Structure 1
Amino acid sequence: MSESPGVAGLLAPALTMTGRCVRLSRRDIDAVITSMMLPVMLMLVFVYFFGGALNTGTEYVNYVAPGILVLCAAFGSSGTAVRVSEDMKGGIIDRFRSLDVGGTSILAGHVVASTVRNLFSTALVLGVGVLIGFRPSASAAGWLAAGGILMVFLVALSWLSAAVGLLAKTPEAAAGFTFIMMFLPYPSSAFVPTETMPGWLHGFADHQPVTPLIESLRGLLHAQPVGSAPWLALAWCGGILTVAVGVSGVLFRVRTR
């Protein structure tokens, strides 16, 4: 009778796949620089080009920085779709399966590597924000809560991106997911209060997953009341993660049948 591989047997391949994905990321210097510099450039554009014309009731850099952090996470996580699609197209998955490496380990490696990349990007964006005037007043608990919510969002979005990479037939098609993820923070409270938007857009902006996340980060980092926003953000992230993990498992079995 065969024995169950146990936790260690499942964890070891995932760690190996994570190491592989991190090494591949280090070699793709262009993608790393783009994922780090684009959010920084957007922050500078919004603060210095548009900030003087926008009235948000506070220094604009303090208002927009949490939104840029989410935009950074969305853009960085979406790159996972391209990397998964490249693996599927390149034939490396067949070699991994011949070594008895399961789909969960392969995808988890991509997700963990994506989260690590995004943590570096987030730290860079946060540092630049502080240099240009972002002044968070959060307590240690506030920082931990904000970091935890953002981490859950990173993981959920990376798994969703992995599912898209399995669904896309080519890496070029998977790259289209980047545009969608980059667009989603715009019709939200990331750059302007949602109540300034037209009525039809206001409703969407208030009830999409990014808005409660941004409101949670903004409130926690500035030590302001957050109400139910963190729970809404976690509920959205939990739903996205559950669906993405389930769908990616089905898609992986179908694509490697």
Structure 2
Amino acid sequence: MTTAAPTRSVLPPGASATGPEGDHLTTRPRPFPLVRHSLALAGRSLVKTRRTPEALIDVTLQPVLIMVTFVYIFGASIAGSTHDYLQYLLPGILAQSIAQGAVSIGVNLNSDLEKGIFDRFRSLPIPRSAPLVGAVLGDVVRYVIVAVVTIGFGYVMGFRIGTDPLSMLAGCALAVLFALSLSWVSVFVGMKARTSGSVQGMMFMLLMPLSFASNIFVDPTSLPGWMQGFVDANPLSHLVGAMRALFLGGPAGPDVLWTLGWCVGLVAVFLPLAMRAYRKRV
């Protein structure tokens, strides 16, 4: 009695045999691994946000409280009426809030480092930079929330767009782009600082002069002459100027170009620095 020799299966290039039954499944390398894994880790950030909604206080309640405080306490003194000051202030509050919203990413990443989560990421077959890129992409939702909350509550208070909806959306998109670029500064600080608390302190120390030595709250011509040079070069001043033009009307081109230039500069400088600090840290 003869036994037939087992038939040998020939798999195409790139195929592998998987499964407990030895089934042959054709698998091909999927393209753009950095994009895929970054988006997956961005989803992880969104899950964390959904489970801890109190982490959204800085992009929901904080801009509302600042807007109410400044409009009804200082509005009549600064602009002559609360309505006129609200029209002037809201684009600035949105720019300030969306910039401050970038602080949390550095705090969260530093906290993940302390917990050892990045040690697990390092053992996974994913690009080394995917956890950082995914964290930045996951913060887009926070920036969209702060834009919706600020403009929505501003409408309740009496704010009105003086241009058109497309210009308003362009202003919000520019603010989100600036926040994404500024996030790399926070990521870099988060990789270099020893504790998450120190990340928050250093970032607020950076953002405070940018917020108050700017055109957010008052007309820069009312500031001391020695300060006006800093205000003119302040990236937040250019962002606010662009948003006021897109929201209320006026020439937006120069401030938009300056803001885009700042976005490119921030990413070009701090993304490599953040990646280098991350590789040294983990």
TM-score normalised according to structure 1 size: 0.92
Name the structure 2 match of 1:165: 190
Identical aligned residues as a percent:
32
Name the structure 2 match of 1:222: 248
The amino acid that maps onto 1:79 is S
* Whole-angstrom CA distance in 1 between matches of 2:280 and 2:66: 39
- C-alpha deviations, 1:91-141, integer Å up to 9, x for none? 110111101233321011111121211211221111011110111122244
- CA distance change for structure 1 residues 183 and 32 in 2, over 3 Å: closer, same or farther? farther
Name the structure 2 match of 1:116: 141
- The alignment of Structure 1 onto Structure 2 pairs a total of residues equal to 254
Whether the 8 Å contact between 1:15 and 1:109 is mirrored in structure 2 is: yes
Q: Pick from 172, 176, 185: which aligns with 2:201?
A: 176
Name the structure 1 match of 2:94: 69
The amino acid that maps onto 2:158 is G
Q: Which runs of 4+ in 1 moved over 6 A?
A: none
Deviates more, 1:28-37 or 1:123-132: 28-37
Q: How does 1:221-240 map onto structure 2 within 5 Å?
A: 221-240=247-266
Name the structure 2 match of 1:49: 73
- CA distance change for structure 1 residues 189 and 117 in 2, over 3 Å: closer, same or farther? same
Q: Pick from 194, 204, 208: which aligns with 2:234?
A: 208
* Whole-angstrom CA distance in 1 between matches of 2:182 and 2:134: 14
Name the structure 1 match of 2:36: 12
Is 1:185 equivalent to 2:214 in the alignment? no
Name the structure 2 match of 1:135: 160
Q: CA deviation at 1:149?
A: 1.3
- C-alpha deviations, 1:202-229, integer Å up to 9, x for none? 1111111110110000011112122411
- C-alpha deviations, 1:138-168, integer Å up to 9, x for none? 2244224313311210210112211111111
* Whole-angstrom CA distance in 2 between matches of 1:249 and 1:132: 43
Q: CA deviation at 1:183?
A: 4.4
Is 1:40 equivalent to 2:45 in the alignment? no
Q: CA deviation at 1:29?
A: 2.7
Pair member with larger Rg: 2
Q: CA deviation at 1:9?
A: 2.0
Whether the 8 Å contact between 2:86 and 2:159 is mirrored in structure 1 is: yes
What is the RMSD computed on CA atoms of the aligned residues? 2.0
SS at the partner of 1:184? Answer: helix
SS at the partner of 2:231? Answer: helix
* Whole-angstrom CA distance in 2 between matches of 1:125 and 1:41: 10
Name the structure 1 match of 2:55: 31
Unaligned runs of 5+ in 2: 1-13, 15-28
The amino acid that maps onto 2:277 is L
Whether the 8 Å contact between 1:215 and 1:229 is mirrored in structure 2 is: yes
TM-score normalised according to structure 2 size: 0.84
Whether the 8 Å contact between 1:103 and 1:252 is mirrored in structure 2 is: no
* Whole-angstrom CA distance in 2 between matches of 1:191 and 1:106: 37
* Whole-angstrom CA distance in 1 between matches of 2:276 and 2:65: 38
* Whole-angstrom CA distance in 1 between matches of 2:126 and 2:200: 26
Is 1:150 equivalent to 2:180 in the alignment? no
